[in-house]
A and B are shown apart, each in its own frame.
Chain A
């Protein structure tokens, strides 16, 4: 049982850093630019497809990932320039409608280019295989690498936000946007950089999961809601909140999903516990969010409400 718990914790951590990579961009765009971007999940999907294509083209996963990043940055800049820029002064509802339009455009374009069948990306040989934990349990090296990469990005982002001039502007922008603009900071350029950064992180997440999850047209939608949950739990605009929110959501999802029913079996008879567990497991994340917002309506680390 402890073995299983350790494994589940690792799995939760892995899902957590992945969610963080996506949520960090979303929360920055949200908090600083005040744009609700439903198309953020789609960027994750595009990252997966681009990595798959570049990897197939070059024959190397690493080259594929490396080529994907500048492509992602370019996509972010173009998207910001063509559509997002025009949404800054608009209501959240207009933004929701327009970015939902982007979701439809992206999903259909991806379908036209890559088809509907899921695409697999071969595991890079360097990280293939698994390492023994305890007893018969093993853990794939690649998943450990994802955790490491995610934590590295988190640390990098932390340093950038707290110890650079750009980071200072980001922090200021998240809480006092108008004042930053009034002080003469070129806010347009700042926004473009933030959006590009968010796009690259989401695409990077899509790229690094490609070897363990297949790339398909539904992957953007599957993370979108969960990412919003993370952002809201953490508090809009807070990168720290996105990190802890992501880890919390992921742990509740993975550990709670397995140990919840087991715990329930202790109080209920097995059949009823099974039924209740199956009903409750998918709700856990939402119950968590409702409970947190009930106690703290602005999220765990939210500055503005």
Chain B
């Protein structure tokens, strides 16, 4: 094999010198095309969430036309909710497709995996859902933005609501995984009352009969739960069937526009915490919701809204720079200004480049057209900054 050695050495030398490996060098191709990679979970049981987000982003891109006034190329990839595969796919977007922005994902574990491969190459990563505490705090990064929230916040909303209601005895339930544990911790951050019981269910559990039996036995003042996706659908239906409807059902990421089509009437009156609801009263929101309804025949949820905003965010920043993305500092500054009309009204970034926004209590209702949605009830937090922002020092 000796004759191959010079070739290998040559390849080795070139690759070692390749600029893509240098810290913070733009990976983009440098032509007039704006390239954006979307990383969402589009297969498996959680695909409904990823589809909402993709639809939301695409809707904004269609409405605006050329994002930032540039010819736009959007590449959609399915992370299959498999973090190590997602890391490779993110690398592929950066190294092969030379995207300027990576947008997504839905799940925190996927974000954990793609964060470093994307941000270390100087590409901008915009999370439209996952907001784990480390990236909001100590591990905040200049190339990372979130248009969603910090993961704990929606749970804190419900904790504050339970506190304000004067509940003394709340039953807590979440799946036995990291986000589930974070959720109950978030709730307890803003709730000081008694805990009737605390149950961790198996991830992916679909039958909650034994947990419901415990709730019936304890007769708590309220239930707080975090059951995203299909788990939430089953819990809501079974909660209703078990005749527990009289115990207030407080939740986060459980009763929303992705699950309501399946739960339908069973979820009516159930409460949740959110940064937005489809009936929020402003022009940008009315346009967004009606366009989404026209395009997909379904009511958009926060997953769609936050992805829609990510597209608007990119558009506004690139427009401000007249399409010149070579100066990364200028690009980051333009993004940080967040100069666009969000359907949620006020929107600005904090020091950790997570949103500083209002949070609300929302309730599941049936619309006049027979569809279901969440509806605003009251504002719980105003211009709420997440608790980890204090740990963030941007370099």
Contact = CB atoms under 8 A, between A and B. Distances in A.
- Most chain-B CB neighbours within 10 Å: which of A138, A216, A219, A278? A216
B292 to A, nearest CB: 15
B210 A11 contact: yes
Contacts of B44: 217-218
Interface string A243-267: 0000000000011011000000000
Interface in B208-252: 209-210, 213-214, 216-217, 219, 229-230, 233-234, 237-238, 241-243
Given A138-B242, A282-B202, A214 B213 contact: no
Nearest to B209: A11
A136 B234 contact: no
Nearest to B41: A116
A254 B210 contact: yes
A195 B281 CA distance: 58
Interface stretch (B121-129, B133-141, B257-265, B356-364): B257-265
A15 to B, nearest CB: 6
A99 B37 CA distance: 34
A118 B230 contact: yes
A123 B229 CA distance: 20
A217 B45 contact: yes
Interface residues of B, number: 37
Q: Report whether over half of chain B's contact residues are helix, strand or loop; otherwise say mixed.
A: helix
A8 interface: yes
A118 B229 CA distance: 8
A98 B285 CA distance: 49
Nearest to B240: A123
Given A116-B47, A116-B48, A116-B51, A214 B262 contact: yes
- Most chain-B CB neighbours within 10 Å: which of A14, A118, A130, A218? A118
B384 interface: no
Contacts of A255: 210
A117 B48 contact: yes
A213 B234 contact: yes
Interface residues of A, number: 41
Interface string A156-175: 00000000000000000000
- Most chain-B CB neighbours within 10 Å: which of A11, A142, A281? A11
A130 B204 contact: no
B214 A4 contact: yes
B217 A213 contact: no
A15 B205 CA distance: 12
B230 to A, nearest CB: 5
A259 to B, nearest CB: 10
Nearest to B217: A4
A214 B209 CA distance: 14
B29 interface: no
- Most chain-A CB neighbours within 10 Å: which of B202, B237, B238, B241? B241
Interface string B193-207: 000001010101011
Interface string A195-228: 0000000000000000011101111001000000
B326 interface: no
Contacts of A218: 44-45, 204, 230
A240 interface: no
Nearest to B259: A118
Contact of B233 (A11, A140, A214, A281): A214
B209 A143 contact: yes
Contacts of B266: 120
B210 A212 contact: no
Contacts of A219: 206
B393 interface: no
Contact of A136 (B47, B206, B217): B217
Contacts of A135: 217
A3 B214 CA distance: 10
Contacts of B387: none
A119 interface: yes
Contacts of B237: 120, 212, 214
A278 B44 CA distance: 25
Contacts of B47: 111, 116, 217
Given A4-B217, A218-B45, A138 B243 contact: yes
B207 A212 contact: yes
B282 interface: no
A120 B259 CA distance: 10
A123 B264 CA distance: 12
Contacts of B233: 118, 120, 214, 216
A172 to B, nearest CB: 37
Contacts of B214: 4, 258
7 contacts: A7-B210, A11-B209, A14-B209, A116-B45, A120-B264, A212-B237, A213-B207
Q: Which 4 A-B residue pairs are closest in the complex by CB-CB distance?
A: A218-B45, A116-B47, A7-B213, A120-B262
Given A3-B217, A123-B241, 15 more contacts: A8-B210, A8-B213, A111-B43, A115-B48, A116-B51, A117-B261, A119-B262, A120-B264, A138-B243, A212-B207, A212-B237, A216-B45, A258-B214, A274-B198, A278-B200
